[in-house]
Amino acid sequence: MGADVMTNQAVTTNAEAADAVPPGRRLGVLHGVKVLDLTRFLAGPFGGMVLADLGADVLKVEQLVGDSSRANPPYFHQGDSAYFMSINRNKRSIALDIRTDKGKNILRKLVADADIILDNLRAPQRKKLGLDYEELAQVNPRIVSVSVTGFGSSGPFADRPAYDIIVEALAGVMSVTGPIGGPSVRAGVPIGDITAGLYAAIGSLAGLQTVHATGRGTHLDVGMLDCQLSLLSYLAQYYFTGGLVATHQGREHLSIPTYNTFVTRDGSEIVIAANTEEQWQALCTVLDRKELCGLERFATNADRLAHRDELITVLRAEMSKWDRDSLERALMDAEVPVAAINTIDVALRSPQVAHREMVVRAPHRNGGYFRTLGATIKSETSPGGEFTSPPALGGDTQAVLHQLGYSADDIADLADQGVIKST
């Protein structure tokens, strides 16, 4: 009952609000680039959507049962899971059993005409299905093959399955996330998956440049664990250089005490990022504590870091004298970076978010529109049209096969044999 109620509420809210936001818009910078997206769930499909938002023709190659995220609860719109809708706009879909000989033959024909193929299969699975790079290159020497897996295609963990929380844990990301002293927590957004999807898109674009430069394709190996380790950035370098094993950072920054979270008089949370010397002095001026700048123990960021506890105690006491709006205005006027901690609903209503068209509407194949996030990359010089609906499972199977030269009778036979599914 609870899930049904949530589903109905989500549909009603979307339907009422979709007309109030602008249409989602793609770019055209990848117009003409053909992508086969064999991935499912989150990391790979997110990377495929990035390419689709940039204008690529992305064909989602699904199992006959479909991407498992199609059934992900609790919210649904017009029969589609909200989870699925969030990462599969601007794509087409063919439902194909690539384990069958006829299915493999269809896939080979698609590969022959593609520029990029995305998969999230471990190396032995790719080999078994004829999707390892050596075989793909025989079909299309210019193909860019991008594999997104938990641990990459080699190494002692290569055959282990992985999800977002697994790689966040193994990479040490969770060990620095959470209140000081612990416990460890995962990030509130799926950074393990999303980061891997972004690297997959970056790798795809680099692969296209390789083809442009050499005429030959390439295989790019993206491991979610590798991607998470890259996010450690300066924390890893602190360990390499100074031997520091960072732990839970809570609301604070490891190196900059004035990069922190504070609570104002009205109980609101606010973040301040007074990183530079100029910003530190401006902060003291706003708080009417200019004498702090003249104290030797607070003279430089290194000094302030050495006396972090004392400084933070003083700053928290001063912040608590202000209401949030007044403090935010005063700091912004002084050019000290500051922001309230928004809840998701407030963040999505921000005037900056509206101006950047980051909340938009997209059409649904079953009629009407739904609200969704806009494309991140903008361009006034390379428009590519409006968003298209997330695809039905196998919704483009017949059209794709017709383009490959299959007749209506051929397609019917393939459906009867369980090679394809068409809706």
Active-site residues, by number, are 193
Angle at the Cα of 202 from the Cα atoms of 198 and 206, rounded to 5 degrees: 165
Q: How many CA atoms lie within 13 A of 152 on its CB side?
A: 14
Quick one: three-class SS letters along 337-387? CEEECCCHHHHHCCHHHHHCCCEEEEECCCCCEEEEECCCCCCCCCEEEEC
Backbone angles phi, psi at 370, to 5 degrees: -140, 150
Rounded Cα distance between 390 and 149, Å, is 24
Rounded Cα distance between 373 and 336, Å, is 29
Rounded Cα distance between 137 and 144, Å, is 9
Amino acid identity of 423?
Answer: T
Backbone angles phi, psi at 41, to 5 degrees: 75, -105
Closest by Cα among 265, 187, 197 to 41: 197
Angle at the Cα of 226 from the Cα atoms of 224 and 229, rounded to 5 degrees: 110
Closest by Cα among 413, 374, 423, 415 to 92: 423
